[in-house]
Structure 1
């Protein structure tokens, strides 16, 4: 009987946390969609496919999947130099967008959960703030 109450509390806490995280992710994705439209769509397009050899795709991007920290770094500080995305080489410059850490987290959550990308771990403002130049 003594074991039932702690298990119940743990179960309720775990379910509450998962529901909170899911609703937090949905809200972040919604905000990130707006940021994407304002800052990213000109180069990476509405469908996230980018422009071959000029602007890398975000849709079904192996780069996003394999280099989470580098992807966040690119949005936060910009990116210059060669990268390989889905087997194609890109060597262009992406300037820093001047976004706040919370905005970066939101747009990353949108990108990482759109166009065939799926991430189970939500990008947080704390994670973004820990990434340094």
Structure 2
């Protein structure tokens, strides 16, 4: 729990001015930090760097930042098969996490606005709900 608190505090201190001007996004990012710690951090690590050749990075990840629908779908339904992230091929299955559409939106807002990532367009529950398997 302390790690969640520290993560949220550090995230809030480094949020860009856009998210601070959007209280809805800031709240989503805060909730997403908790989802990340509970479901994602074990593989993608606290710094979002992932594990080379096993689990792709989320920090500065071209796949995450340019393939929005595919990234949402992977979190919502799981992922199997090869993907290429920053020129590296990964082929480790990600099981479906059983998250609600709100939790998927929140964790996407967290990871796309953490570390070196900056997302100009908030991911909404409505957007997530439209993603089909």
TM-score range normalised by the length of the shorter chain: 0.7 to 0.9
Q: TM-score, normalised by structure 2?
A: 0.84
Contact 2:63–2:86, Cα closer than 8 Å, also in 1:
yes
Which residue pairs with 1:73 in the alignment? 73
Mapped partners of 2:19, 2:66: distance in 1: 27
| Cα pair distance change 1:100/1:81, threshold 3 Å | same
Task: Say which structure is richer in strand.
Answer: 1
TM-aligned CA deviation for residue 22 of structure 1: 0.9
- Tell me the secondary structure at the aligned position of residue 92 of structure 2: strand
Which residue pairs with 1:48 in the alignment? 48
Structure 2 unaligned regions, length at least 5: 1-17
- Tell me the secondary structure at the aligned position of residue 22 of structure 2: helix
Mapped partners of 1:21, 1:118: distance in 2: 15
Q: TM-score, normalised by structure 1?
A: 0.84
Which residue pairs with 1:110 in the alignment? 110
TM-aligned CA deviation for residue 79 of structure 1: 0.3
Structure 1 unaligned regions, length at least 5: 1-17
The answer to whether structure 1 residue 95 and structure 2 residue 95 are counterparts is yes
Which structure has the larger Rg over C-alpha atoms?
A: 1
Mapped partners of 1:40, 1:65: distance in 2: 17
- Tell me the secondary structure at the aligned position of residue 81 of structure 2: strand
TM-aligned CA deviation for residue 65 of structure 1: 1.3
